Amino acid sequence: MLAASYVPALSATQDDTIAERASKYYQTCSVNWNATLSPQMNKNALTSRALCDGYTRGAYDGLRELNSSKLLFEEPDAITVEQVGTITFNYIRQHPEEGNRLTAIVMLEALRAAYPRRNNDQKRKY
């Protein structure tokens, strides 16, 4: 089981973007995710964190819009970008076989697992 936790970081290639593969998102974004943003941060860490924040926010906004018509998950009353990222990272760690999928699809699966529909309809609608 311990070896499986390393799969997400190892399956991404240099050419992948954080949007193309969940493993690249995990590899790039989970490292500095909980770090406090400050001017003292390494320039690369700050750039990476800004990229990851922007991607996570944009992907979640798109999923919320899709969810408003498809009802794919029970949207929480309040959720932060940091929480969305953490939920997604945890899901990727628990499901390393998902590492080669598009990050937004894996994020959707993570949100569906964290916030299932109340009527328990788990049928995929995408």
DSSP label at 101? S
For residue 30, what are the domain limits? 3-114
Does residue 106 lie in a domain region?
A: yes
Q: The dihedral of CA 26, 23, 105, 113: what is its sign?
A: negative
For residue 36, the model assigns a pLDDT of 72
- Kindly state the tokens that stand for 13: 């290639």
Does residue 122 lie in a domain region?
A: no
Does residue 9 lie in a domain region?
A: yes
Does residue 50 lie in a domain region?
A: yes
What tens-digit pLDDT sequence spans the chain (126 residues)? 333 444 444 444 557 899 999 999 999 999 888 777 677 778 888 888 889 999 999 999 999 999 998 889 999 989 999 999 999 999 999 999 999 999 999 999 999 999 998 865 544 444
Residues 6 or more apart whose Cβ sits within 8 Å of residue 10: 23
Does residue 124 lie in a domain region?
A: no
For residue 85, the model assigns a pLDDT of 96
How many folded domains does the chain comprise? 1
pTM comes to: 0.79
For residue 126, the model assigns a pLDDT of 42
**Angle, CA 112 vertex, CA 53 and CA 25 arms, to 5°:** 30
Does residue 61 lie in a domain region?
A: yes
Does residue 71 lie in a domain region?
A: yes
For residue 38, the model assigns a pLDDT of 72
